[in-house]
Chains A and B, each alone.
Chain A
């Protein structure tokens, strides 16, 4: 009985392919929108998480000034090497600490030049930033201590300056001095903020201070914490220590900021979340509209098929059997819409993820949920028309033209 009712419903839907399709369209779009939003949202969140963790694990970034932006304000003095040593000695939760100075500048190799970011730091920079070397080596102790003219370059810099050439042992010119390339970083791609992380040149801190900035100042500290659970504690201890060292009184605000990567993740993914919620709401409304569309067509169908219903009732169909027939028809219609929506969403998600350079993460839960939801819409919005059909008076229905 159930099986033949199902076949009957499918036949009714096939009889009016175009109308059935248009009826389903609301559900199709709703389901496709929901799934695509959630899938892309997940992909975006994942991408952010990946990128932030590629900044470095359990990373704290300490800068002078109070804003997450480049450079310090005039009121905020830079850090000195003594600060670095103090943190290293007094905060045991710190695993390693990379003092950095950064400058944007143009570098030259042969006939080519390229504008990039030059960073001066220690070997700790590689560990705190999760950088691997594709070729060559890190700085030797002598190079660090002596501030020698050596550098490690990122993939983008290599491509722009050296093309297909092996850069190791070659030289680049930075602000009038020649610097030997001793290492090449493994490519990381874009950062969470959209900048190219591979567009970088690193040299020993002393080299940069002596030959580029001309001072002992340190513009930022990249600190790797022992483990994730200790991040908050480490942050507190570092803050206290720096306040003390920078002579900040109790009623004054910090003139430096300690940022952790988790915070960055949260900031970025909260934006994504808002977007997903907003678009999800739009999708939900479209599902509702789809449901109303189904109800409308089912009511039309009941009217059109009044005579058929009369025949069925007259020859002994029970009320609930007629109800079931129309309910199943509505559910088949909406579920079919759901299935088409899922297929559309899969195609759209894969396509959009590729365009937006996000990972495509298939989420079975949201697909299943959407399918069940679309079926539920069929039940919800099909019930009223189905009940109307079931409660028809067989004599009136038979007389209906």
Chain B
């Protein structure tokens, strides 16, 4: 087991501070003996423009780490720097502001608003940013186009296939031009062909728009698309893997 890796060292062209930096992050759910130690001192570092896959067996703490990464949750101990800002010191409101400004989320269950059109779903984050109606409209159209859903703006989730729903979710995540796209098992509910399409989409967003992508998956096929893979086991980083041939 290789503990206390310094992930930053693995980057050859390290320049400034990393975008995301975990040091000795722990997460303890519940309290006392009934509680559960989901993360046991995680160190990791992700630079801007990276494409990282997190792998590991079920229950190894991948989602827990992603929730902390996405500022939806805070570590029990340790520190998380996002662009050098200690996230654990931010309050709920400030974390929400950070999320809406820098982060985009894609979930395994798509999590689109039901009975709401693709267009409106994609516009949602812009609404909270206070963007004007016409600007929202345009940006949502463009985002839908970039995920290959031009003609589906007025379809509701019920009228779309799983792959299409996940594309809408990706469009919603990137419509704000976030720095990081966080995806927890984005292909978990999709068939293999559709999964590959989604991965290709994420890869192109990473390459063409320069969006940093952090993705949880338990399928090695999907992890292949990432530049780096972080393997989790029992709430710790087990090893880091660098996928060649991508850079």
Residues in B with CB closer than 8 Å to A307 are: 111
Residues in B with CB closer than 8 Å to A319 are: 92-93, 96
Stretch of B100-108, B148-156, B226-234 with 4 or more beta carbons under 8 angstroms from chain A: B100-108
- The B86-132 residues at the A interface (CB cut-off 8 A) are 92-93, 96-97, 99-101, 103, 105, 107, 109, 111-115, 124-125, 127-130
Q: Does A135 make an interface contact (CB < 8 A)?
A: no
Partner of B99, one of A15, A316, A398: A316
Q: Give the most central of B92, B96, B113: most A CB within 10 Å.
A: B96
A residues neighboring B (CB under 8 Å): 1, 4, 15, 307-308, 310-319, 321, 394-395, 398
5 CB < 8 A contacts A-B: A311-B113, A316-B101, A317-B100, A317-B128, A319-B96
The verdict on A316 contacting B111 (CB below 8 Å), with A1-B130, A394-B72, A395-B67 known, is: no
The answer to whether B96 and A4 have CB atoms under 8 Å apart is: no
Q: Give the most central of A15, A308, A312, A314: most B CB within 10 Å.
A: A314
Give complex CA distance A308, B129 in Å: 18
Partner of A395, one of B72, B93, B172: B72
The answer to whether B113 and A316 have CB atoms under 8 Å apart is: no
Residues in B with CB closer than 8 Å to A4 are: 127
Which residue of chain B is the closest to A317 with respect to CB atoms? Answer: B128
Give complex CA distance A160, B130 in Å: 78
The answer to whether B124 and A395 have CB atoms under 8 Å apart is: no
The answer to whether A316 and B72 have CB atoms under 8 Å apart is: no
Residues in B with CB closer than 8 Å to A313 are: 96
Q: Give the most central of A308, A313, A315, A398: most B CB within 10 Å.
A: A315
Which residue of chain A is the closest to B70 with respect to CB atoms? Answer: A314
Q: Give the most central of A310, A311, A319, A398: most B CB within 10 Å.
A: A311
The answer to whether A314 and B92 have CB atoms under 8 Å apart is: no
Residues in A with CB closer than 8 Å to B97 are: 316, 318
The answer to whether B96 and A316 have CB atoms under 8 Å apart is: yes
The verdict on A312 contacting B124 (CB below 8 Å), with A318-B97, A319-B92 known, is: yes
Shortest C-beta distance, A216 to chain B (Å), equals 92
Q: Does B238 make an interface contact (CB < 8 A)?
A: no
Residues in A with CB closer than 8 Å to B100 are: 315-317
Shortest C-beta distance, B170 to chain A (Å), equals 13
Residues in A with CB closer than 8 Å to B224 are: none
Shortest C-beta distance, A304 to chain B (Å), equals 11
The answer to whether A314 and B124 have CB atoms under 8 Å apart is: no
Give complex CA distance A317, B95 in Å: 10
The answer to whether B99 and A314 have CB atoms under 8 Å apart is: yes
Shortest C-beta distance, A224 to chain B (Å), equals 72
Shortest C-beta distance, A279 to chain B (Å), equals 43
Q: On chain B, which size bracket covers the interface? A: 20 to 34
Partner of B72, one of A15, A314, A317, A318: A314
The answer to whether A315 and B99 have CB atoms under 8 Å apart is: yes
Give complex CA distance A290, B21 in Å: 53
Residues in B with CB closer than 8 Å to A308 are: 113-114
Partner of A321, one of B67, B70, B128: B128
Q: Does B73 make an interface contact (CB < 8 A)?
A: yes
Residues in A with CB closer than 8 Å to B103 are: 316
Shortest C-beta distance, A41 to chain B (Å), equals 46
Residues in B with CB closer than 8 Å to A321 are: 128
The answer to whether A1 and B127 have CB atoms under 8 Å apart is: yes
Q: Give 1 or 0 for each of B51-88: 1 = CB within 8 Å of chain A CB.
A: 00000000000000001001011000000000000000
Partner of B105, one of A314, A317, A318: A314
Give complex CA distance A315, B175 in Å: 11
The answer to whether A316 and B125 have CB atoms under 8 Å apart is: yes
Beyond A307-B111, A316-B125, A395-B67, 11 extra complex contacts between A and B, CB < 8 Å? A1-B128, A4-B127, A311-B111, A315-B99, A316-B101, A317-B96, A317-B100, A317-B128, A319-B93, A319-B96, A398-B111
Shortest C-beta distance, A307 to chain B (Å), equals 7
Q: Give 1 or 0 for each of B169-191: 1 = CB within 8 Å of chain A CB.
A: 00010000000000000000000
Residues in A with CB closer than 8 Å to B125 are: 315-316
Give complex CA distance A313, B128 in Å: 10
Shortest C-beta distance, B25 to chain A (Å), equals 16
Give complex CA distance A395, B182 in Å: 14
Give complex CA distance A307, B116 in Å: 14
Residues in A with CB closer than 8 Å to B129 are: 316
Which residue of chain A is the closest to B105 with respect to CB atoms? Answer: A314
Which residue of chain A is the closest to B101 with respect to CB atoms? Answer: A316
Shortest C-beta distance, B167 to chain A (Å), equals 16
Residues in A with CB closer than 8 Å to B72 are: 314, 394-395
Which residue of chain A is the closest to B125 with respect to CB atoms? Answer: A315
Which residue of chain A is the closest to B182 with respect to CB atoms? Answer: A314
Q: Please give me the 4 A-B residue pairs with the lowest Cβ-Cβ distance, nearest first.
A: A316-B100, A316-B99, A315-B125, A317-B128
The answer to whether A315 and B115 have CB atoms under 8 Å apart is: no
The answer to whether B105 and A315 have CB atoms under 8 Å apart is: yes
The answer to whether A315 and B67 have CB atoms under 8 Å apart is: no
Shortest C-beta distance, B71 to chain A (Å), equals 10
Which residue of chain B is the closest to A315 with respect to CB atoms? Answer: B125
The answer to whether B172 and A315 have CB atoms under 8 Å apart is: yes
Q: Give the most central of A1, A310, A316, A321: most B CB within 10 Å.
A: A316
Give complex CA distance A311, B26 in Å: 25
